[in-house]
Amino acid sequence: MDYELIFYVSGGVLAASAVVFTFLGLRLEKFPGKAGSAVALCFVALAVVASTFAVLHSQHEEEHREHEAGLPGATEEAEAEESE
């Protein structure tokens, strides 16, 4: 899978779950109740996944742009990565 795809999917799931849990929190009097730590853990996990793949995607894009621009040292690094 591509870093970009994982970033967009995890970010979309994070945003959608934020909307759903906000709606539930406004509608249900005792939300989240005993599941509070599970809800918090879910959001932390989604935020970590989204931010991790955002960084990985940005690094990949930077390497790709350097390779296209022909910056010094970029072609050797790109060729070494392609040979691996």
Q: What is the Cα–Cα distance from 73 to 82, expressed in whole angstroms?
A: 14
Question: Which two three-digit tokens encode residue 45?
Answer: 């996990």
pLDDT, residue 65, reads: 78
Give the tens place of pLDDT for each residue, 17-66: 999 999 988 998 888 888 889 989 999 999 999 999 999 888 877 777 77
> Looking at the predicted structure, is the pLDDT value of residue 79 above 90?
no
Do 45 and 34 touch, CB atoms closer than 8 A? no
Say which residues have a Cβ less than 8 Å from residue 9's Cβ, sequence separation at least 6. Answer: none
pTM above 0.85, yes or no: no
pLDDT band at 67 (very low <50, low <70, confident <90, very high): confident
